[in-house]
Structure 1
Amino acid sequence: MLPLGLVVALVSLTLCEGQPNCHFGSKGVTFGESCYKFVHEHLSWPEAVTYCVALGGELVRIESAAEHNFLIQIAKQLKQNDTSFDIKDYWINLSDVIVQGEWAWLGNTRLDAPSDSPSNELASYVRWGPTQPDNTPREDCVGLWLQGDFLFGDWPCSTRLHAICEDSMGH
C-alpha cells in the first residue's frame, strides 16, 4: 500500500502531456491554471529569465501558499528520485535589484505579454527561509532554498542554480 502523502502527490501531479496550451510538453507539471518546468541546466538568474521566455513561459512567480507547497512537493520528489539534478536550489522570479529591500516580481518577461502589463509588482506572498533574506552584498535574486526546506532564499544573481519556468495555461 502506498503512503497517503505519495497518493496525494500522485493525484495532484498532472503531466502537461495532452495539454495543448502548455509549451513544456511532457516535461511539465500542472497546478491550477499553470504549467511548470523544472530546468536541469545551471543558470544565473538573468539566464534563467531568458531561458524561460525562450520556452514560451517566464521564471515562476509564486503567488500563494498552495502554489508554493505544490512546487516544494515537486522539488522534494526530484531531490529524492532524479539523480540528474545535482543542484537542488531553484531560481524564481523575485528580486530586489531595482530597489534594495523591495522584493518584486519582474514584469513583462513573456514575449507575448500585453504592452500595458505592469513592469514590476511588489510580492504579496513571500515565505523566507531561516535567516533570509540576509541581504549580504549583491544578493538581489531569489530562489527556493534546499537548506531552508525550499523556502525563499536570496543569492547573488550570478549564482548558477536550476530554475522553475511557468506557463499560464491560457496562453
Structure 2
Amino acid sequence: MGLAAAVLWLSAAAAARALVVPPLRLDGNESHTDVILMRQEVILEEMVMLLTEIRDTLVDRRRVTDEAPRDRVTDEPLRPSVTDAPRSTTTTAKTSNAPPTCPDKFQEVDGVCLHLASSKQMSWDEARVYCQRLGGDLVHGLRNAEAGQSLVRDKYLAGESVVWVGGHDRSSEGRWEWLSGDAIPMDSTLWGIFLIMKQPSGGKSENCGCFYGPDEYQLHDIPCNRQYEPLCQVDHRNG
C-alpha cells in the first residue's frame, strides 16, 4: 500500500472511530452540559490516538523507503550511441579536368608555350635572364626550336629581325648544344646556308645561336654580345 493510500485509510478510520464513542460511566449527578463535554473529551482523545498512529505509520514507511537498495550508480562515462557519433567531414579533393594552358604573355605554337619579346633588344645572356624572370628560358630543343622558327616566320618578313635562341658552343668550341645539354647535330635542317657559307661558320668569335632574318630565320652562330630579341619558352601550367 502506498503512502497516499495509507493516509486515506487511516483518515477514514479516524472518522469512523470518532463517530463511535464508547459509553460513559456516569454517577447520575452530571448535568447535560457535563455529559456533552465529557463526550467531546473522549472524541479528542480518540483523534489524538489516531493521529499518533498515522504519524508513526508514515515514519515507519519513510524509513523503509530510505533503507531500500537504490539503483547502482557507476562512474563509467556514458558511451555515445551510434547516432551520436560525429559525422565524418572528410572531403575528396576535386581534381581539375581542364587541359594545361600557357601562362600570361605566352602563346601555344605546335604544343609549345612561346613568347617572342618584340621590340626588346639585348645580349644573349640578358635574353636568358629575361626569359628566366618569366619562368622559362630561351627556346631550346629541336621540336621547340622548330615551333619557335614557325612563330618567328609568321611574325616577321625575311630579313626584318634576328632572334636569340638557346643554342651555344661555349662549353666546347665547335660542339653545339641546347641549354638542356642535348647536342645540336651539324646536319640538322635548322642550320642555314648564307652567302654559300654553311652554318655555323663564325669560329671562336661567334658562340651563341639565333634565328637569322636575312637567311629566312634559319639557325646561325653569331657573337653573344649583339643586341637581338629573345624567344622564350616555358612549361605548360595545369588548368
Normalised TM-score (structure 2): 0.49
Which amino acid is the alignment partner of residue 107 of structure 2?
A: V
On the 8 A contact 2:137/2:234 being kept in 1, the answer is yes
CA drift of 1:169 comes to 1.1
Matched with 1:36 is 114
Q: 1:31 to 1:78 in 2, by over 3 A?
A: closer
SS state at 1:48 partner: helix
Q: Distance in 1 between matches of 2:113 and 2:164?
A: 16
SS state at 2:152 partner: helix
Which amino acid is the alignment partner of residue 127 of structure 2?
A: A
Matched with 1:129 is 192
Q: Distance in 2 between matches of 1:153 and 1:138?
A: 13
Matched with 2:150 is 73
SS state at 1:43 partner: coil
CA drift of 1:67 comes to 5.4
Q: 1:92 to 1:165 in 2, by over 3 A?
A: same
Q: Indicate whether 1:54 and 2:153 are aligned.
A: no
Stretches of 4+ moved more than 3 A in 1? 18-21
CA drift of 1:28 comes to 2.3
SS state at 1:42 partner: coil
More divergent stretch after superposition (122-131 vs 55-64): 122-131
Matched with 1:3 is none
Kindly report the root-mean-square deviation, in angstroms, between the aligned alpha carbons of the 2 structures. Answer: 2.7
Q: How does 1:137-152 map to 2 (within 5 A)?
A: 137-152=204-219
Matched with 2:65 is none
Q: Indicate whether 1:168 and 2:235 are aligned.
A: yes
On the 8 A contact 2:100/2:237 being kept in 1, the answer is no
Instruction: Please identify the structure whose Cα radius of gyration is greater.
Output: 2
Larger strand proportion, structure 1 or 2? Answer: 1
On the 8 A contact 2:207/2:223 being kept in 1, the answer is yes
Q: Distance in 2 between matches of 1:155 and 1:76?
A: 19
Which amino acid is the alignment partner of residue 169 of structure 2?
A: D
Q: Distance in 1 between matches of 2:160 and 2:227?
A: 9
On the 8 A contact 1:61/1:93 being kept in 2, the answer is yes
Listed as ranges, the gaps of 5+ residues in structure 1 are 1-17, 81-85, 108-119
Q: Distance in 2 between matches of 1:150 and 1:161?
A: 13
Matched with 2:164 is 91
Q: RCO (CA 8 Å, sep 6+): is it higher in 1 or 2?
A: 1
